[in-house]
């Protein structure tokens, strides 16, 4: 004998589309409120020093090996792919400028952010998801503490502050990898390789990459923590939170990369109209 009044489910494509849109709008609203809550806690609270340092160690030191390995290979891949075109034009020594500009403006920050999203972001989502499922987040609230301040703020700060460092590491090892491969394997003259690189890579290029990376780091931490906090029950829910966190973070990285690149280049052209476009 059931007396619960449950509305009859409807399955028409219009209903499904409407439900999807409503879900999406609700998620965007939830995420915005979550991000505002994190920023509020950043202003009003101070994370525990020990927790912050532990998180920074995991995010920063723990990510260095994977960033170094991938950075070296990216530098070498750029050399391999670019060499033939430049060789055809008799401009092999110019390859250094292309490798280095690509690395400091785009590939270094995006690579470091992708590694962070895969290695740290997914782990954060899974860890917080497990805490949600096992009621540890409720326990924090029951003990009078704010779980956002306790769990999200240290992770946000660690990602936000350390991703520029990881980006510098990725840039550096990528540049070294590209130079080594170009000069040792492809027989490009080292002196002219660096001379052309110096002429093309500006301080603004490096700054562009670092500015982008800060936004990437903040986005990764917010997305990962949001999905951890809103994890569904069970092992499947935790796994889904980790996967969705990485996918959304990666899309966010690429979208931010595009819009920030556009914004920064436009600003550069407005500030220095006499200089050639950076695009």
Q: Which is nearer to other proteins, 98 or 158 (CB)?
A: 158
Q: Which two tokens stand for residue 168?
A: 């510098």
How near is the Cβ of 245 to other proteins at its closest, in Å?
19
Return d(Cα 235, Cα 243) in angstroms, integer. 12
Q: Which is nearer to other proteins, 146 or 243 (CB)?
A: 146
- Cα torsion 113, 240, 30, 124 to 10°: value is -50
How near is the Cβ of 168 to other proteins at its closest, in Å?
30
Return d(Cα 229, Cα 254) in angstroms, integer. 24
How near is the Cβ of 166 to other proteins at its closest, in Å?
23
Q: Which is nearer to other proteins, 43 or 89 (CB)?
A: 43
Pick the closest to residue 110 from 222, 244, 242, 256 (CA basis).
256
Pick the closest to residue 101 from 188, 25, 175, 16 (CA basis).
175
Phi first, then psi: give them for residue 91, nearest 5 degrees: -125, 40
Return d(Cα 63, Cα 124) in angstroms, integer. 14
How near is the Cβ of 2 to other proteins at its closest, in Å?
5
Task: Find out whether 227 and 241 touch, Cβ atoms under 8 Å.
Answer: yes
Judged by the rule CB under 8 A, the positions of this chain that interact with other proteins are: 1-4, 6-7, 130-131, 134-136, 138-146
Query: Tokens 């956002």 belong to which residue?
Result: 148
Q: What three-state secondary structure class fits 276?
A: coil
What do you get for the CA distance between the two ends of the chain, in Å? Answer: 69
Sign of CA dihedral 132, 137, 141, 147: negative
Q: Which is nearer to other proteins, 5 or 274 (CB)?
A: 5
How near is the Cβ of 1 to other proteins at its closest, in Å?
7
How near is the Cβ of 139 to other proteins at its closest, in Å?
4
Q: Which residues contact 172 (CB under 8 A, 6 or more apart)?
A: 71
How near is the Cβ of 54 to other proteins at its closest, in Å?
8
């Amino acid at each position: 004998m059931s007396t619960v009044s449950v509305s009859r489910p409807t399955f028409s494509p219009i209903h499904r589309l409407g439900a999807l849109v409503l879900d999406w709008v609700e998620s965007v609203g939830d995420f915005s409120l979550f991000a505002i809550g994190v920023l509020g806690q950043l202003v009003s609270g101070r994370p525990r020093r020990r927790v912050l340092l532990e998180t920074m160690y995991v995010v920063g030191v723990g990510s260095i090996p994977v960033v170094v390995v991938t950075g070296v290979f990216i530098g070498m891949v750029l050399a391999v792919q670019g060499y033939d075109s430049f060789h055809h034009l008799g401009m092999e020594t110019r390859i250094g400028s292309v490798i280095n500009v690509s690395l400091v403006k785009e590939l270094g920050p995006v690579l470091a952010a992708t590694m962070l999203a895969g290695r740290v972001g997914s782990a954060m989502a899974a860890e917080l998801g497990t805490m949600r499922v096992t009621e540890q987040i409720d326990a924090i609230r029951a003990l009078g503490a704010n779980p956002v301040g306790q769990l999200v703020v240290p992770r946000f700060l660690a990602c936000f502050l350390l991703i520029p460092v990881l980006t510098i590491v990725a840039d550096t090892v990528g540049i070294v990898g590209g130079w080594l491969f170009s000069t040792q394997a492809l027989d490009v003259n080292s002196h002219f390789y660096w001379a052309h690189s110096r002429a093309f890579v500006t301080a603004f290029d490096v700054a562009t990459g670092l500015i982008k990376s800060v936004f990437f780091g903040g986005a990764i931490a917010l997305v990962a923590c949001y999905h951890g906090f809103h994890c569904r029950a069970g092992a499947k829910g935790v796994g889904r939170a980790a996967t969705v966190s990485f996918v959304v973070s990666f899309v966010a990285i690429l979208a931010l990369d595009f819009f920030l690149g556009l914004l920064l280049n436009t600003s550069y052209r407005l500030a220095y109209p006499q200089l050639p476009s950076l695009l």
